[in-house]
Chain A
Amino acid sequence: MNISQERNADKLTLSIEGRLDTKTAPSLEQVVKSDLTGVTSLVFDLAETTYISSAGLRVLLMAQKQMNKQGEMTVINANNDLLEIFEVTGFTDILTIE
């Protein structure tokens, strides 16, 4: 998995390339824990994300909780397989998915 960050004033876009799973989720967790200072708009671009497991969902939930305190969070470009995972876990009700 590769995470690219694009910061534009208060907006941070995190593009996730590859698999967001048990082994890779901790590095995203690290970004979410340390790089959200001053961010009011957080965007997860999942266009290149091929897979997500509960470990990845956990980090998205953590980010959502944090952004509820300081701004907004949007998930964009998730493919249909990922959308189904969000659907069956009820994450479609928690996340703002565009």
Chain B
Amino acid sequence: MKELDIEALVDNLDKVLQFIDAELEDTDCSPKIQMQIDLAVEEIFVNIAHYAYNPETGPATVRVEVRPDGSAVTITFIDHGIPYDPLAKEDPDITVQAESRQIGGLGIFLVKQTMDDIRYEYKNGRNILTVEKNLSQTTQKPGAGK
């Protein structure tokens, strides 16, 4: 397991992605899966940067653990900002036409669609959001990453 402590700023997104991608380098995950993981990391980290400590900034911890057999990765995001459960938010209606489409909530919706598991807990004053992604396409659960 590896951990990165970093200030929750949008400007630090590249550092977070580099940290995650370095861990994925030794696995044989496809470019597509890597893109989906980058996407989830961006959406979650940017959410923390925008909202967790608004209008101040604060620290975040990103933890990454690749399963020993390389079959899956678990990424955990921890902040001690405002308690916020992104999973409690209703999914956006993706069937309505452009004029009435709302863009809010689309980021976390994308995370739900592309990751195999996502969990939230609020513990000891900290938001803890964990995502899991299978790294081999054949072991994807039905409906995930479609």
The answer to whether A and B interact is: yes
A53 and B110 contact, CB distance less than 8 A: yes
Chain B: interface secondary structure?
A: helix
Closest to A91 in B: B94
A61: contacting residue among B42, B101, B107, CB under 8 A:
B101
Chain A contact surface mostly? helix
C-alpha gap A13/B99 in the complex (Å)? 23
Closest to A68 in B: B98
- Minimum distance in angstroms from A81 CB to a CB of chain B: 5
Q: How far, in whole Å, are A52 and B3 apart by their CA atoms in the complex?
A: 26
Bound together, the chains give a CA A94 to CA B109 distance in angstroms of: 17
Q: Count of A-B contacts with CB under 8 A? A: 64
Interface size on B, residues (CB 8 A): 26
Chain A residue numbers with a CB within 8 Å of B14 are 23
**Residues 21-39 of chain A: 1 if any B CB is under 8 Å from the residue's CB, otherwise 0?**
1110000000000000000
Contact partner of A65 among B31, B38, B99, CB < 8 A?
B99
Knowing A23-B13, A61-B103, the reply to whether A94 touches B110 (Cβ < 8 A) is: no
Given known contacts A90-B94, A94-B98, A23 and B10 CB-to-CB distance under 8 angstroms: yes
B107 x A68 contact (CB < 8 A):
no
Enumerate chain B interface residues (CB-CB to A < 8 A).
10-11, 13-14, 31-32, 35, 38-39, 42-43, 46, 94-95, 97-99, 101, 103, 106-107, 109-110, 113-114, 146
19 extra interchain contacts, Cβ-Cβ under 8 A, other than A58-B106, A64-B98? A21-B13, A21-B42, A22-B42, A23-B13, A23-B14, A51-B35, A51-B38, A53-B39, A61-B98, A65-B99, A68-B98, A68-B99, A80-B32, A84-B32, A85-B110, A87-B146, A90-B94, A93-B94, A94-B101
